[in-house]
């Protein structure tokens, strides 16, 4: 069956068996492998995507059911190549992951939470991510990441309209030698580890 | 864990959906899919056709009519959770909904789906049974309005015959006044299948006496069960004898259930929980009613 | 740069560079690796705990469009060698598919290969297998009895290992100390269950004669075992180590999956992939953890000093031998925990039963052992009427006693347990904690404090192998690193194993940067495949900070000395006439300075300006042996791992006597892993380890019924802690560097997990002690707590 999926603002027309989940269609037919299969029965949350800005389990939805929605996967979060959203940057700042397998689901869930609730309490964060299982981190640094992102989002300069997508933070360019202990290094610095200098 | 193959259709009317279901007894309706899809993935269910009813216009909407709050079957659990109408008219349902699964499953799962699935420990069926809701089911030929007691027949078993779909849920709305509700459940982790759950709704008069009270228990029998607490009607809600009355009523009821012992919870634990949770739910409901009551806490 | 403090980059909160690819969904996990014309595998499981295979009929399955092949154990066992055992048990043979008989419910009997995974699963249902059920044994104590039905008849019994060690004068100490105690505790079967299941993709190129393997693997000697089983030279196996592993914590040892898939790739001439689904993984992924019964006897004084301990550990290895029995051996290296126990008798028993095989789990048996030891300390304290903390103080090894030789032959390198404990108590405000406990008790709840003090042996070696299997004489346990400074002066280091979230690239860059005084962010770290790699033993035994850090350190030192040497040759000076600083070298006399870029230019291009015999380029490599390793056992004593981290848990817990659900109100952990290379990473390991421990003590269990049927095959029954179940954890640090490691670092990969179950159990038992109740089996479920409390009430009815 043909179905048109709108994913991260792009239309994908895929031809799939009805039994193919949205998860598998995203990974195989749209070549978006950032969404992960952890259990395929709706418990672990590794397959989380946003459907019309709401986190859902893509393993519990068939691709043929998913037309007409705005689907956002982890690949749709970063503002551009080599860049990070404020929330993604916060996850890097607090080390809110280890193996990274649950991370796309956590990031999307965090994005959805902060969009609805820009000032969540710790308890609200805990509740929001309680449908995403992490086996590596014990959740502490994930909660810290979302708290940090909330703080930064509240403090950022807004353009005249509050867009749905949190904008990227342009971190100051810090010469690494000056403040080696400072966490935020220019985001693009990793691509050119030396900024052209040995 | 890939499902066995099936066909998929998305009819544009409820009648069409019911026709397909009637003509093929191995066809299954799918709405939110939060309980159905795991069963498909584990190949515990193998429908020939999945009939997608999620977007049928006849099944949507929340509205009031004739003293009932009506929820279309495909009302998402999250919609009900955030609905001002539900908050004002069905405080017990509003209290129970955050316990249903997790936020991501409430974003897709429907109230009708939960009721049709009829898990003995599910929250929405418990509220339906406790309040004496009506379940409206529809086939190609007819529409039937069933009291909850006649709809829930056993574990995962309802009065839905082949060709029928849940159309809407009609919850009786109690008159505005000093209302209080309580909802408690215990599971291994928050939002797991409950070992036991208790739902209470009561109304107090101006003298703090009980005007009306209903108590429902979930997770203990093969379906949610309403326990009579009529002996409390007319009594002072501040009386210290009430917890004991609840304990006796619940204990007696449990003695009639075939309480399950499994790796997670023993039968004796469930019985003990039932009494304690019912007492707590009643405590919350009394507090709510006597402190002003009315809208959902 | 010294081993104590004052680091430039080490111990600073630098970002973990791996996070950057994960946070945008650009990790490359095995299921993300593309391969053209890939075929997919699904497995036919046996429904019986034990059964003879009479016949396998694949005709209907093969007729399904899209199905390419159905492989049976009979065919496979003719084509490959059995998988390796750790012990000398040649009659316990294991192949990826059951051969002749099946030995646990869910065991893989046949493998279906098809165009898609979905079609393969369809075909699995069409494979018809005829079985003749055999007697089975599930309970390990029954399996220990001689007349129990043997899982491997050729082996003669179900006993894989039954060895008693006596270190020190146990009998004398028991005679001299008339106060004795005896008890049993049981560690239920659970595992660390990563969110990513095991997966492997294999491709055979018959013209190059190379088997390419991508896998979600954490396993020493992985490529060795592939080569052995497939009977091909090791240099025909190319494992791609740049695959990101979605969590492992020990268990991703999918050698059976790999041999299966490799054989199929060779047989069918196309790439073949198996990604376990969750059902396959839980039931037959062979990744269950220890299931262990401890019988402990202890001799102590009235003052609560423990002099001697007898411990019998009976472990249920499941249906095959593998590496599981060694999980009884590794704890020998910390068998007395952090205490001055003078003598130990230790009986290690491993039995086969008709359950899924046990695999290496985080700590390799240390956490269950710590649970037994800490329970012992709590019980002795109760018996003596002593405060549990005071009792531990009296028994702790003291700071001035290090290096401390324990009865089983291991020397603990360094530690200061009293200070860590003091820090924890101070941070917790212990007096207030006790008051809070009492307040909770007065309010009608049960409340208790749990304490656990234990060691994390780190650095890894395989000393338990020659200890438990005399035929195995392995004492080498190495790690390696290579560094190249290229022609334009950019630095690239290599590491030679996979990682599963431990931040090893960050580790290597930080250490190399520290030595060379160059910003780690400018150092690229890559993972070549195994054909281009130096020897490695993969991240096990909490070893990588020490071993990979050590290898990187030494490789960087070589670079640094080569740079200095180059400058000396150029300046015409001796070594002490120049000064190195951040990659540049200055002539002390003239002040002339050569930047790294210039030195590199000379090294790569200006051969004419260097003395005869100077080798071009600027690179190094280092293969490092584990410190303290290298000797075989003597008199059943051996040096296990080199470095010992320490952790001290303090928990305040309450529970409603009817609802029975434990609520952790406060969780404090004191942690000493020597020099911390990256604080973010250590914090993550600790919090994650505690989460694993909470799961093991309260929620997680692989359950089989009497009929050998597996009851917890999905995440609906095997309960993983969510964010609701893991409390906020307060961490307190201390640092006693290791004298044996390059920066004073010790390992922390198992931190938190090693003590949390003991602490949680201790807290619950403290809470119910006033009722005369004691829980002796993990996990402790709310149902059991509630039932026990109800039964303890006088005149109780229900």
| Residue pLDDT, tens place only, B265-279 | 999 999 999 999 999
The set of residues, in sequence order, having a beta carbon less than 8 Å from that of B227 and lying 6+ positions away, is B215, B216, B217, B249, B250, B253, B278
The answer, for C322 touching chain A at a CB cutoff of 8 Å, is no
* Distance from C-alpha of C298 to C-alpha of B290, rounded to nearest angstrom: 59
Burial of C589 (0-12, 13-18, 19+ CB in 10 A): exposed
Q: Of residues C768 and B295, which shows the higher confidence score?
A: C768
What is the C-alpha to C-alpha distance for residues C285 and C253, in angstroms, rounded to an integer?
9
Assess A41–C contact: CB distance below 8 Å, yes or no: yes
DSSP B190: T
| Per-residue model confidence (pLDDT) at position C795 | 64
Kindly state the tokens that stand for C640.
């296990």
Mutate to test the interface with A, among B104, B113, B192 (most CBs of A within 10 A): B104
What is the helix (H) or strand (E) element at residue B220, kind and residue range? Answer: none
CA of B268: which chain C residue's CA is closest? C798
Q: What three-state secondary structure class fits C435?
A: helix
Nearest to A101 among C15, C196, C689 (CB): C196
Q: Give yes or no for a contact between A115 and A128, defined as CB atoms under 8 angstroms apart.
A: no
Residue A9, number of CB atoms within 10 A of its CB? 9
The partner residues of C42 in beta bridges, in order of sequence, read C112
Give residues with Cβ within 8 angstroms of C305, minimum separation 6.
C340, C394, C395
| Contact of C283 with C710, CB cutoff 8 Å | yes
CA B161 to chain centroid: 20
Question: Within 10 A of C37 (CB to CB), how many other CB atoms are there?
Answer: 10
CATH code reported for the domain at C292-463+631-792: 3.30.365.10
DSSP A58: G
According to CATH, what is the number of the domain B7-52? 3.30.43.10
Nearest-neighbour CA in chain C from A135: distance (Å): 6
| Chains in contact with C via at least 3 Cβ–Cβ pairs below 8 Å | A, B
Pick B276's closest partner by Cβ from C125, C659, C721.
Answer: C659
**CATH numeric code, C33-134+195-248+253-284:** 3.90.1170.50
Chain B residue numbers touching C279 (CB-CB < 8 A): 1, 42
The shortest CB-CB distance from C659 to any of B38, B263, B273 is to B273
Give the contacts of B239 (CB within 8 A, at least 6 positions apart): none
How much is the CA Rg of chain C, to the nearest whole Å?
28
Cα C669 to its chain centre, rounded Å, is: 20
Averaged pLDDT, A82-101: 98
CA-based angle C328:C334:C336, to the nearest 5? Answer: 105
Rounded to an integer, what distance in angstroms lies between the CA atom of residue C793 and that of residue C795? 6
Of residues A43, A91, A97, nearest to C716 (C-beta) = A43
| Calpha distance B206→B200 (Å, rounded) | 20
Query: Where in chain A do CATH 1.10.150.120 domains reside?
Result: 86-187
CB C604 within 8 A of CB C487: yes
Distances, alpha carbon B17 to alpha carbons B8, B23, B143, B169, B185, in Å: 12, 10, 14, 18, 36
Confidence of residue A177 (pLDDT cuts 50, 70, 90): very low
Q: How far is residue C723's CA from residue A139's CA, in Å, rounded to a whole number?
A: 6
Instruction: Find tokens 């324990």 and name the residue.
Output: C406
Per the listing, tokens 């929980």 go with B273
SS (H, E, C) C199-260: EEEEEEECCCCEEEEEECCCCCCHHHHHHHHHCCCHHHEEEECCCCCCCCCCCCCCHHHHHH
C-alpha C609/C-alpha C612 separation (Å) is 9
> A50: which strand partners?
A55, A72
pTM: 0.95
Give CA–CA dist C5/C733, Å, rounded. 14
* Residues of chain A numbered 89-148 and touching chain C (CB < 8 Å): 91-104, 107, 122, 126-127, 129-143
* CB atoms closer than 10 angstroms to residue B268: 17
Interchain contact C793–B (C-beta under 8 A): no
User: Which residues are bridge partners to C133 per DSSP?
Assistant: C51
Q: Could you tell me which residues are beta bridge partners of residue B183?
A: B199
Triad B15, B19, B20: Cα angle to 5°: 120
pLDDT in tens, B9-48: 999 999 999 999 999 999 999 999 999 999 999 999 999 9
* Pairing of β A48-51 and β A70-72: antiparallel
Same CATH topology for C19-26+478-625 and C292-463+631-792: the answer is yes
Question: Alpha carbon of B2 to those of C18, C82, C134: distances in Å?
Answer: 32, 31, 32
The Cα–Cα gap between C278 and C286 comes to 12
How wide is the angle at C-alpha C54 spanned by C-alphas C48 and C58, nearest 5°? 95
Q: What is the Cα–Cα distance from C3 to C739, expressed in whole angstroms?
A: 9
**pLDDT attached to residue A171:** 42
Question: A99 to chain B nearest CA, in Å?
Answer: 23
Q: Tell whether the model's pLDDT for residue B294 goes beyond 80.
A: no
The first and second tokens of residue B103, run together, are 């936020």
Chain-chain contact of B268 with C798 (C-beta, under 8 angstroms):
yes
Rounded distance, CA A41 to CA A44, Å? 8
Q: How many Å lie between the alpha carbon of A91 and the closest alpha carbon of chain B? A: 21
Residue with token string 């969590």: C247
Return the biggest CA–CA distance within chain C. Answer: 98
Q: pLDDT, tens digit, for every residue of B193-249?
A: 899 999 999 999 999 999 999 999 999 999 999 999 999 999 999 999 999 999 999
Q: Is C725 an 8 Å CB contact of chain B? A: yes
pLDDT tier at B105, thresholds 50, 70, 90: very high
How high is the mean pLDDT in each 10-residue block of chain C (798 residues)? Answer: 70 97 98 97 98 98 98 98 93 97 98 98 98 98 97 96 98 96 98 98 98 97 97 98 98 97 98 98 97 98 97 98 93 98 98 97 97 98 96 98 97 98 98 98 98 97 91 93 96 98 98 97 97 96 97 98 91 90 94 93 90 89 92 93 98 97 98 97 98 98 97 96 98 97 97 98 98 98 98 71
Helical H segments across B4-83, by residue range: 14-23, 36-41, 77-82
Assigned fold of C19-26+478-625: Aldehyde Oxidoreductase; domain 4 (3.30.365)
Contact of C185 with C296, CB cutoff 8 Å:
yes
d(CA C559, CA C136): 60
Give this complex's ipTM.
0.97
SS (H, E, C) C629-666: CCCCCECCECCCCCEEEEEEEEEEEEECCCCCCEEEEE
Q: Name all chains with 3 or more CB-CB pairs below 8 Å to chain A.
A: B, C
Q: What are the distances in angstroms from CA A79 to CA A8, A88, A169, B20, C755?
A: 11, 10, 10, 46, 43
For the beta carbon of residue C183, count every other beta carbon within 10 angstroms: 15
- What integer pLDDT is reported at residue A188 of this predicted model? 35
Measured in degrees and rounded to the nearest 5, phi and psi for residue C376 equal -60, -45
CATH number of the structural domain A2-76 = 3.10.20.30
- On chain C, the residues whose CB falls within 8 A of the CB of A104 are 25
Sheet containing B210-218: order of strands = B178-186, B196-204, B210-218, B225-227
**CATH number of the domain at B178-290, please?**
3.30.390.50
- pLDDT score of A196: 40
**C717-731: pLDDT as tens digits:** 999 999 999 999 999
CA–CA gap between residue A92 and residue C514 (Å, rounded):
22
**Under CATH, which architecture does the A86-187 domain have?**
Orthogonal Bundle (1.10)
For residue B77, give the 3-state DSSP assignment. Answer: helix
Q: d(Cα C288, Cα C268) in Å, to the nearest integer?
A: 31
Shortest CA gap A113–chain C (Å): 15
Please provide the average confidence, as pLDDT, over all residues in chain A. Answer: 86
Q: How confident is the model at residue A185 (pLDDT cuts 50, 70, 90)?
A: very low
Instruction: Pick one of 3.30.465.10, 3.30.420.130, 2.30.29.30, 3.40.20.10 as the CATH number of B57-172.
Output: 3.30.465.10
Hey, how many other C-beta atoms are within 10 angstroms of the C-beta on C269? 14
Token match 């540049």: residue? C584
* Both tokens assigned to C672: 């000493």
Can you tell me the distance from the alpha carbon of C265 to that of C285, in angstroms, rounded to the nearest whole number?
20
Q: What is the model's pLDDT at position A166?
A: 44
CA-wise closest residue to C363 among C500, C254, C460, C497: C460
In this predicted model, which residue has the larger pLDDT, C292 or B292? C292
Strand C237-240 versus strand C210-215 pairing type: parallel
In whole angstroms, what is the distance from residue C137 CA to residue B205 CA? 64
The answer to whether C83 and C94 have CB atoms below 8 angstroms apart is: yes
**What whole-number distance in Å separates Cα of residue C645 and Cα of residue C669?**
13
Q: Is C9 part of the contact surface with chain A (CB cutoff 8 Å)?
A: yes
3-state class (DSSP) for residue B125:
helix
Q: Where are the domains of chain C?
A: 19-26+478-625, 33-134+195-248+253-284, 292-463+631-792
3-state secondary structure C402-417: CCEECCCCCEECCCCH
Q: For residue A187, what pLDDT band results from cuts at 50, 70 and 90? A: very low
Q: Residue A78: list chain C partners with CB under 8 A.
A: 24
C575 token code pair: 């070594």
């Amino acid at each position: 069956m043909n179905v048109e999926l709108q994913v991260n603002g792009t239309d994908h027309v895929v031809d799939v068996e009805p039994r193919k989940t949205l998860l598998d269609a995203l990974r195989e037919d749209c070549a978006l492998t950032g969404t992960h299969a952890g259990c395929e029965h709706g418990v672990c949350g590794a397959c989380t995507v946003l459907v019309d800005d709401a986190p859902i389990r893509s393993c519990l939805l068939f691709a043929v059911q998913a037309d007409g929605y705005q689907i956002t996967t982890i690949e749709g979060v970063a503002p551009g190549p080599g860049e990070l959203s404020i929330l993604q940057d916060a996850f890097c700042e607090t080390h809110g992951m280890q193996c990274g397998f649950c991370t796309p689901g956590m990031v999307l869930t965090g994005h959805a939470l902060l969009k609805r609730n820009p000032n969540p309490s710790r308890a609200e964060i805990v509740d929001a991510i309680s449908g995403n299982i992490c086996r590596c981190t014990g959740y502490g640094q994930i909660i810290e990441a979302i708290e940090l992102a909330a703080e930064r989002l509240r403090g950022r300069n807004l353009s005249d309209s509050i867009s749905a997508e949190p904008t990227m933070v342009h971190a100051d360019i810090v010469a690494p030698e000056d403040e080696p202990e400072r966490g935020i290094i220019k985001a693009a610095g990793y691509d050119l580890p030396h900024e052209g200098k040995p | 864990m890939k499902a066995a193959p099936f066909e998929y259709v998305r009819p544009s009317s409820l009648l069409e959906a019911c026709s397909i279901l009637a003509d093929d007894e191995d066809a299954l309706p799918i709405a939110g899919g939060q309980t159905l899809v795991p069963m498909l993935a584990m190949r515990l269910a193998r429908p020939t056709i999945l009939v997608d009813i999620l977007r049928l216009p006849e099944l949507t909407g929340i509205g009031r009519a004739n003293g009932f709050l009506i929820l279309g079957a495909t009302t998402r659990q999250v919609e009900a959770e955030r609905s001002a109408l539900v908050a004002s008219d069905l405080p017990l349902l509003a209290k129970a909904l955050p316990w249903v699964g997790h936020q991501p499953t409430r974003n897709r799962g429907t109230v009708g789906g939960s009721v049709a699935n009829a898990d003995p420990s599910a929250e929405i069926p418990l509220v339906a049974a406790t309040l004496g809701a009506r379940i409206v089911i529809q086939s190609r030929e007819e529409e039937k309005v069933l009291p909850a007691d006649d709809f829930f027949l056993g574990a995962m078993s309802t009065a839905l015959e082949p060709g029928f779909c849940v159309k809407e849920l009609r919850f009786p709305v109690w008159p505005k006044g000093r209302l209080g509700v309580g909802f408690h459940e215990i599971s291994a982790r928050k939002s797991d299948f409950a070992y036991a759950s208790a739902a209470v709704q009561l109304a107090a008069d101006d003298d703090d006496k009980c005007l009306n009270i209903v108590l429902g228990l979930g997770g203990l029998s093969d379906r949610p069960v309403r326990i009579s607490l009529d002996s409390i009607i007319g009594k002072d809600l501040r009386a210290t004898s009430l917890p004991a009355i609840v304990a006796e009523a619940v204990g007696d009821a449990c003695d009639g259930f075939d309480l399950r012992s499994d790796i997670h919870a023993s039968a004796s634990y469930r019985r003990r929980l039932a009494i304690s949770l019912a007492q707590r739910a009643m405590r919350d409901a009394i507090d709510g009613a006597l402190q002003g009551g009315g809208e959902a806490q | 740069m010294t081993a104590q403090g004052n680091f430039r980059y080490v111990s600073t909160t630098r970002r973990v560079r791996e996070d950057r690819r994960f946070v945008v969904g650009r990790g490359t996990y095995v299921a993300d690796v593309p391969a053209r014309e890939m075929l997919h595998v699904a497995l036919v499981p046996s429904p019986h705990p034990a059964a003879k295979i009479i016949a396998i009929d694949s005709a209907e399955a093969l007729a399904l469009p899209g199905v390419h092949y159905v492989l049976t154990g009979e065919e496979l066992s003719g084509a490959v060698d059995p998988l390796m055992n750790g012990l000398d048990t040649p009659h316990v043979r294991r192949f990826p598919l059951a051969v002749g008989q099946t030995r646990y419910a869910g065991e893989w009997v046949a493998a279906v290969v098809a165009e898609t995974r979905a079609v393969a699963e369809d075909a699995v249902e069409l494979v018809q297998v005829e079985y003749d059920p055999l007697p089975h044994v599930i309970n390990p104590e029954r399996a220990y009895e001689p007349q129990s039905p043997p899982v491997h008849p050729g082996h003669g019994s179900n006993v894989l290992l039954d060895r008693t060690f006596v270190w020190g004068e146990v009998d004398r100490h028991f005679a001299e100390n008339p106060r004795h105690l005896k008890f049993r505790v049981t560690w239920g079967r659970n595992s660390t269950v990563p969110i990513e299941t095991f997966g492997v993709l294999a491709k055979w190129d018959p013209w190059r004669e190379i088997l390419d393997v991508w896998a979600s693997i954490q396993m020493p000697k992985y490529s060795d075992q592939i080569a052995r089983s497939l009977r091909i030279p090791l240099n025909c196996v190319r494992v791609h180590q740049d695959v990101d592993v979605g969590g492992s914590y020990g268990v991703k040892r999918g050698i059976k999956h790999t041999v299966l898939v490799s054989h199929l790739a060779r047989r069918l001439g196309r790439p073949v992939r198996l990604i376990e689904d969750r059902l396959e993984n839980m039931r037959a992924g062979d990744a269950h953890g220890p299931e262990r019964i401890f019988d402990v006897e202890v001799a102590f004084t009235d003052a609560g000093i423990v002099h001697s301990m007898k411990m019998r550990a009976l472990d249920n290895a499941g249906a095959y031998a593998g590496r599981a029995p060694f999980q009884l051996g590794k704890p020998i290296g910390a068998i007395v925990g952090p205490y001055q126990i003078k003598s130990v008798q230790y009986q290690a028993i491993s039995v086969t039963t008709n359950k899924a095989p046990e695999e290496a789990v985080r700590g390799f048996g240390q956490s269950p052992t710590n649970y037994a030891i800490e329970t012992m300390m709590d019980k002795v304290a109760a018996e003596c009427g002593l405060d549990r903390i005071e009792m531990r103080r009296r028994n702790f090894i003291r700071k001035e006693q290090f290096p401390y030789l324990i009865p089983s032959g291991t020397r603990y390198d360094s530690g200061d347990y009293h200070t860590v404990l003091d820090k924890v108590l101070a941070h917790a405000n212990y007096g207030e904690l006790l008051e809070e406990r009492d307040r909770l008790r007065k309010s009608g709840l049960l409340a208790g404090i749990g304490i656990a003090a234990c060691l994390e042996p780190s650095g890894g070696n395989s000393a338990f192998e020659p200890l438990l299997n005399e035929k195995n004489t392995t004492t080498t346990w190495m790690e390696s690193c290579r560094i190249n400074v290229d022609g334009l002066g950019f630095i690239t280091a290599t590491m030679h194993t996979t990682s599963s979230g431990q931040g090893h690239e960050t580790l290597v860059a930080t250490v190399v940067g520290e030595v060379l005084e160059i910003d780690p962010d400018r150092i690229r770290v890559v993972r070549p495949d195994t054909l281009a790699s130096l020897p490695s033993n993969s991240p096990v035994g909490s070893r990588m900070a020490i071993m990979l850090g050590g290898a990187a350190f030494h490789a960087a030192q070589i670079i640094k000395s080569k740079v200095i040497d180059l400058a000396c040759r150029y300046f015409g000076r001796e070594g002490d006439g120049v000064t190195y600083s951040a990659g540049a070298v200055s002539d002390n006399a003239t002040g002339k300075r050569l930047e790294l870029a210039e030195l590199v230019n000379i090294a790569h291009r200006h051969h004419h300006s260097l003395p005869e015999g100077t080798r071009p380029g600027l690179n190094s490599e280092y293969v490092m042996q584990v410190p303290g390793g290298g000797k075989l056992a003597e008199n059943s004593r051996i040096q296990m791992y080199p470095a010992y981290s320490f952790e001290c848990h303090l928990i305040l817990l309450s529970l409603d006597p009817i609802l029975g659900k434990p609520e952790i109100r406060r969780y404090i952990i004191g942690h000493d892993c020597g020099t911390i290379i990256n604080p973010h990473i250590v914090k993550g390991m600790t919090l994650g380890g505690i989460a694993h421990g909470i799961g093991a003590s309260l929620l997680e269990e692989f359950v089989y019924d009497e009929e050998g049927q597996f009851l917890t095959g999905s995440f609906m029954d095997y309960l993983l802690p969510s964010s609701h179940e893991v409390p906020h954890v307060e961490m307190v640090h201390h640092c006693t560097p290791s004298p044996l490691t390059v920066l004073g670092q010790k390992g922390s990969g198992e931190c938190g997990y090693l003590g949390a179950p003991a602490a949680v159990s201790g807290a619950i038992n403290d809470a119910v002690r006033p009722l005369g109740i004691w829980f002796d089996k993990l996990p402790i479920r709310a149902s059991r707590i509630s039932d026990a409390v109800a039964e303890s009430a006088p005149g109780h009815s229900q």
